[in-house]
Amino acid sequence: MQINLDISVKEEVPFLRAKQGDVGRKFQVVVTDNGAQYLIPTNAVVSVWYSGTSGEGNYTQIAERSAVSVEGNTVTVELIAQM
């Protein structure tokens, strides 16, 4: 799944619906600023907020590896079991 996110536009953040068994699946967020590609700084810290039947929280890693990768203006995130 790909989500387009323009940081210059005030709008509701889209929800990603996931279910048990979606572990290992990924989604991407393409970030723009006023319609133009927004290059995410290399030192940016990215975490994902989740809420589900097992609780809520945020994450950046799965086990000992990163769950998030950033390339240019695209963030790719791997889903975790708690989602």
pLDDT for position 34 = 96
Low-confidence ranges of the chain (pLDDT < 70): 82-83
pLDDT for position 31 = 95
Residue 6 in contact with residue 36, Cβ under 8 Å?
A: no
pLDDT for position 19 = 75
Q: pTM of the prediction?
A: 0.81
pLDDT for position 29 = 94
CA–CA distance, 79 with 19 (Å, rounded to integer): 10
CA–CA distance, 55 with 8 (Å, rounded to integer): 31
pLDDT for position 82 = 67
Distances from the Cα of 61 to the Cα of 2, 11, 43, angstroms:
20, 28, 16
Q: Tell which residue, 46, 60, 11, 3, has the closest CA to residue 27.
A: 3
